[in-house]
Structure formats: C-alpha cells, structure tokens
Amino acid sequence: MNVRREQSGPGGDHGRFLELLKKQIEANLKTSTHGEQSAPMTKRDMFDLSQFQDEYAFEHSISQYGIQVKSLYHNASPAVLYELALKYEAGSYISDTGALMCSSGVKTGRSPQDKRLVEESTSSDDVWWGRVNIKLSEASYATNRERAIDYLNLQERLYVVDAFAGWDPEYRVRIRVIASRAYHALFMQNMLVMPTKEELKNFEPDFIIYNAGSFPANRYADGITSQTAVLLHFGRGEMVLLGTQYAGEMKKGVFTLMMYLMPKMGQLPLHSSCNVGPDGDVTLFFGLSGTGKTTLSADPRRSLIGDDEHVWTDTGVFNIEGGCYAKCIGLSHEKEPEIYDAIRFGAVLENVCFDIDQRNPDYDDTGVTENTRACYPLQHIPNAITPAVTQTHPTNIILLTCDAFGVLPPIARLTPEQVMYHFISGYTAKVAGTEQGITEPQATFSSCFGAPFLVRHPIVYAEMLADKLKAHNAAAWLINTGWVGGGYGKGSRIKLRYTRAMIDAIHDKALEDVEYETSQIFNLSVPKHVPNVPDDVLMPSRSWANKTEYMKALSKLSQLFVKNFETYADQCPPEVQHAGPVTSGKLPHPPSSSAMAHLQSPQPSRGASPRANETEPHPENFPEDISKGGRLELTGVEGVLNGVHKTKTEVK
C-alpha cells in the first residue's frame, strides 16, 4: 500500500467522515469528466466505501494516542519512502545498486545502558531485573512518552508501519511503528512481516513503537541517565525511543518483547539464525551480534528461514522477522555473494561510506562506524523461504562464539550437558561497534547468547531448551568464529571459508566417521580432520606458536568461565555444572535438582567416540597468575546477575 492520509481537523468523527467522502467524490468526478470522453477510472479512483472505513478506523486509532499530525504515510511503498527520505532527511542517498543509504546520526550502535523496563504489575514478577533490565517508574515513563509524542506532533509528516512480528499466525504479534523518519519506516517494513491488504483491515496493534529518536530524552527524569532512552512498557504494550536513531534498537525492542511473550505461550524464543537443507533438515545458529548468524545462515546450499530471531515452537521453528540486518564491514561479493547481491532497491544501507561521484559503497571504510549495516527483505536472498516457517524440528544446533582469547577450538561436538553449560554461559566477544562505546572485541558472558535481550532469568530459556533437546535429539556443535593462533591483537580471525567448510562438513555428515580428540580443560571433542580445513587450525594447542602464552590464555579463560557459572550453578543439575572447564581437578559446585535434571551424561550416539588427546600441555605447568596480565578484560553487563535471582523458575 502507498497511502498518504490527511488527518482530520476540527469537526469531530462524523464531520471527518463526510469530509473524506466529499473528497473522494470530487476526485472521482474529476477523473470521470476529464477530457472529451470519460477517462477510464483506475481501480484506485473508484468509490470504495470499505477503503473509507479503513482509513477512518486507522485515523481514529492513531488520534487516540494523541497524534495529530496531518500527513501520515501508512505502510508506504519503498519508492515513496525513498523520495521522502531523499527530500527531507539529511545524509540520504541512493547507492549505485539502488539501496537507500541513510545516516543514523551520532548513535551507530545499540545503547544497552540506556535501556529501561517499566516496573509495573502485569510483568514485574517475570522480569530478570538487574543490569540488563533496569527499572523505570511509571511516572518517569509517562514524562518521556509524552515528550516523544510531543516531538512527533511537531513533525510535518509521520510514518506509520503496521506489520507483524512472527511468521506463524498462531503466535504473531501486531506491531505499529510511528516514526518521524522515512528511513525508519522502510527499515521496519523490511524487518517486520508485512500484512496483506486483508490483514491490514481492522489492524489493532498489540504493541506500539514511538520512535522520536531524533529528539533527546529528558535526562533529569527519574531513572534516566543520558539523553538516550530506550524504554519498554509491557503492560501498555509500548516502546519509546528518544535520543537514538540507530534503527537496530527497534528490531531488538521487538525481539525483547518476544523474549517476554513467547515463554508465556510455552514457546522458546532464540537469538539465532535458521536454515533448511535440501532434505528438510533444520539448523539453528545461536550467537551474539557479530558472531556470524547472518553470514553463515546465508548459504547457497540451504534455504534461509531467517538470520537473527526465531521461535522454536511445539511444531517447528518460525522466524520473527521479515528481513535481515547484515553487517557490511569488509563485505565483498567474493566472500558473501548472497548478502552483497541483496543490497539493491528496497534495501537500507546504514552508516556506510560511499564514493561521492559514483555512489558506490566502500564496505572497508570504518569512517562512520565499524557497525555498518544493510537491511533487506528476506526475499532479496535467492533461496529464502517465505512464509519463513518450518514444521520440522532442528537436526543441528550450532553455538557460535567469537572467542577473542583464541583458545576455543574452531569446531567441537558438544554433549547435551555441554550445550546447556555453554548456552547458559554464553561466552563470546562483543564485536566493535554493535554497542556504543565498544571499539575492539571484548570478551563477555552473554547468557543464552543474547543477554541484552533477555527479559526473564536465563535459566527459564535454558530449561525450555533442555526440554527441546531431549525431545528432538538434535546434534550440537560449538563453532569459534573468532580468533585462532593467538588472541585478539596477536592471532587472526579464522578465515570465513574455513568456518563455512566446517558448517558444510556438519551438514554433509562428514564428521560422523572422523577421529576426535579431547581438548584440555574445556574437554571439548574436536575432530582431527575436517574437509577443506588445514588440520593444524583445528586444535588451538597446535595453532598457537607460543605454547606458554596459549596455556596462560587457556587458564585465564577457564577461570573466567568457572567464576561466571557460579551464579547459575545452584539451578543446574550436576551433569551440567560439570560440563564446563575443569581447572583443578575439583568440581566447582555441589549437585542440585532442577528442571534440567533429566539430562544424562553419555555422549550423543552420532559419530565416533572422542579420544583423549595425550599431546597437549597442561595448564598446571604454568602456575603464574595470568589474570593480571591479560589484554582482554571482561565487561560487566552480561554474566553478572543482579536484582531478583529466582531460586525456582517456572514458565508462566
């Protein structure tokens, strides 16, 4: 739809209806008396009472929130949004392949420290309060909400997007975005699932995003600490954005909503990508931002379901989103052809530098940010499946970690207990740019590989995953897409083609009959050979030139794992507690009971059984305290539990 709507002035609802009717009749008359002979009326010109009713209902609905702007662009076509962005939004251009290039201004990544959840009666008991979910009072929310609406009301024109979060009609949520920028509207039209004309009729949103990101928050309001505010109110079904125009906040706001809602419906939301093989086998790739979900799920041999946010339901998996949001840094046709070619008319390029004459993007230029992005509809990927739903349960679960210490093997097969341990731990690195203030990879524990988006306690999601794994017997793998041969600054990021070869080997079942060896400390089962990957890349103890440095880094990382897991240990069965690194021959925590207690220890039946590796040096040969000298430090937000720490969790 490409509808520009003029909103009513005084005269009340009835008056407005008549006014609309009059306008339409005049337009029809003009068309039918044009020229000597009656010009044929287009379908759009024809009197259509139902269209009036829809427009009327829409306007009525918008005005209920106090929005009084005259020009509303409702689910406008990409072409119209392009024109408006180019005309009114500084820093907007068309790229040589037809993408809309936009600037998000000062904020070029998410602002997790400015995210707040309103403490209110309908949701408060379910929330994992702490540093991820920081409380905000109703009063402070009201102040900032009003500020956002006041700002939106000052605009000449606003953009409204009505669309769904979720491809499965049973679980989808109706989202309305009200924004002051055409770029934000196009972004969300790509990222949400657009309704059909029929579905748009009587569309009453469950959740509204007020995006007033070009205007600062009131930093003197109680609980607000900067001019940026990313506010969620589950009771009201609302999100308010002030002081950030980074479009990723909206999509992650919707994901946060799904992280809250889906467990209420007994379904498991995951920060993961998903694709399907020619035989219908489904793979989920879990990972924090920058670990490779988008890159690795875009695979010419497999069909894409989605690149970032999914729900594993009782019947299969559905994508929450209608599009992808890929990182562009270092993008080339050679390395990532599907993503490169998806950047064409309809796609949004965010904060990408380009040649001023030719308008061709320079994907190597980090002049604005390292977090340059492309957002495009799923349909821009040649083998994407829409509706993005599969009725099959996953065969493979791949945990992606970007290890900036460079000590985790590039690929390891996990036992069910190890999956739970690593899922709960969520060890990875934040890559530069995705969050404000992160300028180089920082090691972090981001529970469930998505701590910034968790609403409930991580154990809630972990227990649901344990149930799914038990029921569907998926094979699980840990893939380190981070550093090899040394940590950040010394080693190098593992070549994408090697990671792809490992993923291919998983899908080709080429790792079922190879020999495995066990890595020390982490006790990970590592294949000795992977087709098209040099053997010496596979085991870190061999890929590091300096073995002493390696043992120091290994020892340090394992200590960090143990420390981090202390927070969760009392909620996990002994098998899961013992599935982490063993640093001193002593197991860190006493056994306990939990919903995960059904997990049993034996290795999964697939493939050859791992064999102990006799060649690796042992860290106890390197007794120095390396925690002082390490180059990488853990950042604080993830992995640290604050506030409510539930001893018993249940799905509500």
Residues forming the active site? 110, 252, 271, 289, 293-294, 308, 373
The residue (of 425 and 434) whose beta carbon lies closer to ligand PEP is 434
Please report, as a single letter, which amino acid is at residue 186: L
Partner touching 252 among ligand PEP, ligand ADP, none, CB below 5 to 8 Å by kind = ligand PEP
Q: Which of 463, 415, 412 is nearest to 602 (CA)?
A: 415
Instruction: Centre a 10 Å sphere on the Cβ of residue 49 and count the other Cβ atoms it contains.
Output: 9
Partner touching 361 among ligand ADP, ligand PEP, none, CB below 5 to 8 Å by kind = none
Q: Could you give the CA distance from residue 67 to residue 460 in angstroms, rounded to a whole number?
A: 38
Q: Could you give the CA distance from residue 561 to residue 545 in angstroms, rounded to a whole number?
A: 24
Instruction: Tell me the DSSP string of 197-227.
Output: HHHHTT---SEEEEEETTS---TTSTT--SS
Note whether 294 binds ligand ADP by CB under 6 A.
yes
Q: Could you give the CA distance from residue 257 to residue 264 in angstroms, rounded to a whole number?
A: 11
**Helix, strand, coil tally for the chain in percent (to 5):** 30, 20, 50
Tell me how far, at minimum, the Cβ of 166 lies from ligand ADP, in Å.
Answer: 19
Residue 628 host element (H or E): none
Tell me how far, at minimum, the Cβ of 86 lies from ligand PEP, in Å.
Answer: 25
Residue numbers 314-343 binding ligand ADP by CB under 6 A: 326-327, 329-330
Tell me how far, at minimum, the Cβ of 296 lies from ligand ADP, in Å.
Answer: 6
Partner touching 295 among ligand PEP, ligand ADP, none, CB below 5 to 8 Å by kind = ligand ADP
Tell me how far, at minimum, the Cβ of 243 lies from ligand PEP, in Å.
Answer: 16
Partner touching 577 among ligand ADP, ligand PEP, none, CB below 5 to 8 Å by kind = none
Side by side, which strands form the sheet with 323-327? 93-94, 100-102, 348-350, 373-377, 323-327
Instruction: Tell me the DSSP string of 303-365.
Output: EEEESSEEEE-SS-EEES-SEEEEE-TT--TTT-HHHHHH-STT-EEES--B-TTT--B-TT-
Partner touching 296 among ligand ADP, ligand PEP, none, CB below 5 to 8 Å by kind = ligand ADP
Tell me how far, at minimum, the Cβ of 480 lies from ligand ADP, in Å.
Answer: 9
Residue numbers 230-289 binding ligand ADP by CB under 6 A: 287, 289
Tell me how far, at minimum, the Cβ of 375 lies from ligand ADP, in Å.
Answer: 11
Which one among 237, 290, 416, 485 touches ligand ADP, defined by CB under 6 A?
290
The residue (of 256 and 418) whose beta carbon lies closer to ligand PEP is 256
Note whether 296 binds ligand ADP by CB under 6 A.
yes
DSSP letter, residue 372: -
Rounded (5°) CA angle 511-514-517: 105
Partner touching 330 among ligand ADP, ligand PEP, none, CB below 5 to 8 Å by kind = ligand ADP
Residue numbers 478-537 binding ligand ADP by CB under 6 A: 481, 493-494, 496, 499
> Are 103 and 92 contacting, i.e. CB atoms less than 8 angstroms apart?
yes
The residue (of 123 and 434) whose beta carbon lies closer to ligand PEP is 434
Partner touching 110 among ligand PEP, ligand ADP, none, CB below 5 to 8 Å by kind = ligand PEP
Q: Which of 90, 56, 86, 88 is nearest to 74 (CA)?
A: 56
What residues make contact with ligand PEP under the rule CB under 6 A? 110, 248, 252, 289-290, 293, 308, 325, 434
Q: Which of 65, 68, 74 is nearest to 5 (CA)?
A: 74
Question: Strand locations in 31-180, DSSP E?
Answer: 71-74, 93-94, 100-102, 115-118, 134-136, 157-165, 173-179
Q: Which residue is nearest to ligand PEP, using beta carbons?
A: 289
Please report, as a single letter, which amino acid is at residue 360: N
Q: Which residue is nearest to ligand ADP, using beta carbons?
A: 292
Reduce the DSSP state of residue 286 to 3 states and report it. Answer: strand
Q: Could you give the CA distance from residue 166 to residue 62 in angstroms, rounded to a whole number?
A: 23
The residue (of 248 and 441) whose beta carbon lies closer to ligand PEP is 248
Tell me how far, at minimum, the Cβ of 290 lies from ligand PEP, in Å.
Answer: 6
What mask, x for binding ligand ADP by CB under 6 A, covers residues 113 to 132? Answer: --------------------
Tell me how far, at minimum, the Cβ of 97 lies from ligand ADP, in Å.
Answer: 18
Footprint of ligand ADP (CB under 6 A): 287, 289-296, 307-308, 326-327, 329-330, 481, 493-494, 496, 499
